[in-house]
């Protein structure tokens, strides 16, 4: 199968490049930016005709959409609203149209930010009503709804009101996608990687250079190593079953706990890391206070083993140190 990856020069896209090296499938890596040392095909996913052309030319059987507007605070600026919606909602709809036309699969990467307005204290379920607090979460939720509607032979119910079938499908959808292709929506959270800008790399730098840091302790979730997510996507595409799923690493922590563990693994002992409240760092948008994702469905449906977050963090930091030794980013 030929698999097209969008946003290939981001965190998850770069991890998809790694798993592709040992795969029997053919991968095409696309983005709107170049990255030194790797081949990247230009593709603007807001252009439906361009998507159709590359799908037809390469007989693409699946698209993994890693592209999105991810700057949560900047998404709140009124001048950015149209572009954020175009990237996070209209573009996924375009990808869904193109895949449905050829009977292919769309893997859409979504986010825990579709939750957050309501005070949760138990893991968020795949069929739980989304209550985003800001433009980023709202547009990602809208993108999910547009994909479901595109693949649905029936009017799509509101997100969170879909009942799951025995094989992971949603009400009104064939669990295996049917002749018109299928969708797999994967919500993830707190993504980090050896690549690009992310919380792990930022805190590695700050705990090595600052005498003291304050980090919020009243927002809890689970970090996700992008390589683990990439491996999960590869497993899913081997035998896709339509539906909405959750994937992060296992366990629960706050951003404060995450930072403490980063410093401990890296051996950064001289930085005094202190907990603080979110209110001490005003933001244009309220972050989810508890966005732990329930992963039972993805484990049971695909037989995926989900690593503990600390174990994966140790592996990522070890890889970052290797990159630094080799002089790469």
pLDDT per residue as tens digits for the range 179-236: 558 999 999 999 999 999 999 999 999 999 999 999 999 999 999 999 999 999 999 9
As a whole number, mean pLDDT of residues 275-299 equals 93
- Asked if pLDDT for residue 5 goes beyond 80, the answer is yes
As a whole number, mean pLDDT of residues 45-61 equals 98
Instruction: Give the pLDDT score at 171.
Output: 29
As a whole number, mean pLDDT of residues 319-323 equals 93
pTM of the model: 0.91
Contact between 138 and 117 under an 8 Å Cβ cutoff? The reply is no
Instruction: Give the pLDDT score at 328.
Output: 57
CB crowding 112-129: b at 16 or more within 10 Å, else e: bbbbbeeebeebbbbbbe
Task: Provide the 10 A C-beta neighbour count for residue 281.
Answer: 11
As a whole number, mean pLDDT of residues 49-65 equals 98
Residue 329, both tokens: 């980013």
Among the residue ranges 12-26, 147-161, 176-190, 280-294, the one predicted with the least confidence is 147-161
Instruction: Give tens-digit pLDDT for 143-190.
Output: 999 999 999 875 555 554 443 333 333 323 333 444 558 999 999 999
Q: Which domains does the chain have, with CATH numbers?
A: 2-189+223-250+292-308 (3.40.50.720)
Contacts of 257 (CB under 8 A, 6+ apart): 217
Q: Which residue has the higher pLDDT, 259 or 36?
A: 259
Instruction: Give the pLDDT score at 98.
Output: 97
Instruction: Give the pLDDT score at 130.
Output: 87
pLDDT band at 30 (very low <50, low <70, confident <90, very high): very high
Average pLDDT score over the chain: 91
Instruction: Give the pLDDT score at 154.
Output: 55
């Amino acid at each position: 199968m030929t698999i097209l990856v969008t946003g290939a020069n981001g965190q998850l896209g770069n991890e998809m490049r790694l798993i592709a090296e040992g795969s029997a499938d053919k991968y095409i890596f696309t983005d709107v930016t170049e990255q030194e040392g790797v081949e990247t095909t230009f593709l603007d996913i807001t252009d439906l005709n361009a998507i159709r052309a590359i799908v037809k030319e390469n007989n693409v059987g699946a698209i993994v959409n890693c592209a999105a507007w991810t700057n949560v605070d900047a998404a709140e600026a009124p001048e950015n609203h149209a572009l954020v919606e175009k990237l996070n909602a209209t573009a996924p709809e375009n990808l869904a149209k193109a895949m449905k036309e050829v009977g292919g699969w769309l893997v859409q990467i979504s986010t825990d930010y579709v939750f957050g307005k309501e005070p949760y204290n138990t893991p968020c379920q795949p069929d739980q009503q989304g209550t985003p607090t800001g433009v980023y979460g709202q547009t990602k939720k809208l993108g999910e709804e547009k994909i479901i509607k595109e693949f649905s032979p029936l009017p799509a119910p509101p997100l969170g009101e879909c009942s799951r079938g025995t094989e992971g499908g949603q009400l009104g959808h064939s669990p295996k996608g049917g002749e018109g292709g299928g969708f797999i929506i994967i919500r993830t959270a707190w993504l980090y990687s050896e690549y690009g800008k992310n919380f792990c790399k930022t805190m590695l730098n700050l705990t090595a250079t600052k005498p003291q840091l304050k980090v919020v302790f009243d927002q809890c979730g689970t970090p996700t190593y992008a390589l683990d997510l990439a491996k999960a996507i590869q497993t899913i595409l081997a035998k896709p079953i339509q539906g909405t799923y959750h994937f992060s690493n296992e366990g629960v922590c706050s951003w404060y706990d995450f930072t403490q563990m980063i410093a401990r693994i890296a051996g950064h002992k001289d930085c005094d890391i202190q907990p603080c409240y979110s209110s001490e760092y005003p933001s244009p948008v309220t972050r989810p206070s508890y966005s732990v994702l329930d992963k039972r469905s993805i484990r049971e449906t695909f037989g995926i083993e989900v690593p503990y977050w600390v174990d994966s963090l140790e592996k990522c930091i070890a890889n970052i140190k290797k990159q630094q030794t080799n002089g790469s980013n």
